[in-house]
Amino acid sequence: MSATTITTFAKWQVKSENLETVLHLLADLSQKSKAETDNLFYQVFQDKSNPNVLVLFESYTDEAALTAHRNSAHFQEIAVKQIIPLLENREVVLTSELNLN
């Protein structure tokens, strides 16, 4: 595995009737994800023109840390089983920082 930091951008289109539920679940997911040893940050943003669009911005020390996050009990239970079924659409982009110097 590479020692390169992995940053994830996720755009969620929440079904409007599920927004409050998703926000409640996301508060728990965010807290537990931030507590992971190799999580560098976990931030959630809401689109100003469409409150049903959420953007998650999270970073992990390396690919192994991201894999551990995705396999964690809290991610599987909260994100996979509870949140994802409440979304209309979900886009995820995995990135590594470019060194342009």
> Is 60 exceeded by the pLDDT of residue 2?
no
Structure confidence by residue, pLDDT tens digits, 41-93: 999 999 999 999 999 999 999 999 999 999 999 999 999 999 999 999 999 99
pTM of the model: 0.90
In this prediction, residues 4-30 reach a mean pLDDT of 97
DSSP result, 6-69: EEEEEEEEE-GGGHHHHHHHHHHHHHHHHTSTTEEEEEEEE-SS-TTEEEEEEEESSHHHHHHH
Domains of the chain, with CATH numbers? 14-95 (3.30.70.100)
